[in-house]
Amino acid sequence: MLSPTVNTTRIRVPARLLLKGDVTGSNETVLGVSAGVATPRGKVEVFLEKAGRQRKAIWNAATIIVVRRDAAVPVANRGADEIPLSDRLPTFHELASFDAGKAWDRLSPEQQREIGVLALRFGTVGQCDEYFHETIEDVRKGFASSHWTPQVQATAVWPRLHIQLVASAAQSAFQDLCDHFDPLWPKLFGWQAREEVK
């Protein structure tokens, strides 16, 4: 789904895209959404308030939530120039024709370094997620490639705590990479001509 479904008073968004101030169907106001290190994979922590009482809920990141947004304007009635660059989503054509090399060249050396470090972290830690299991049988079921020798497979038997820490670190690395890209979209897609995106 490239953009939330919008009507005049309510919108449907995945839990990971909830914004501060959104009001859920139970009349709870969203105070914030986060995917902390301790949050299970694929879930987000949603901080809610109702009648002065606050609570934290853990929801699936992809769960569609119907919320009210005070300033919601139907997407059909908004032109691309009316949507702030920080809220705009790429079109299908922009995604299908995305040129990573050109986008990379638009970034400053500092931005390239930051993204490179985040990508390396995700590419190493994130790639290792789900390789490790508590028993050799589970390791062998989980390995998709037959070129891993039994000796190598045996190195993937880890204690549960270590497996959970790697999974959490992989999720955190992915989230950090995604969070870093969001404010750069105007520059990466060329919506903003050669200006620095802070």
pLDDT of res. 192? 65
pTM above the 0.75 mark? no
Q: Name the helix (H) or strand (E) containing 71.
A: none
Q: Provide the b/e sequence for 18-44 (b: ≥16 CB within 10 Å).
A: beeebbbeeebbbbebebeeebeeebb
Provide the 8-state DSSP code for 125: I
pLDDT of res. 190? 82
In a structure prediction context, what are the per-residue pLDDT tens digits for the chain, which is 198 residues long? 444 544 446 788 888 888 888 898 888 999 888 876 566 777 888 889 998 899 988 888 888 888 887 654 444 444 555 566 666 778 888 888 889 999 899 888 999 999 999 999 998 988 887 788 899 888 888 766 666 788 888 888 999 999 899 888 888 888 888 888 777 878 888 886 444 434
pLDDT of res. 57? 87
- Positive or negative CA dihedral for 177, 180, 183, 188? negative
What is the CA 174 to chain-centroid distance, rounded?
7
Tokens of 60: 């699936």
DSSP 15-30: GGG--TT-EETTSPEE
pLDDT of res. 198? 42
Q: Are 66 and 10 in contact (CB under 8 A)?
A: yes
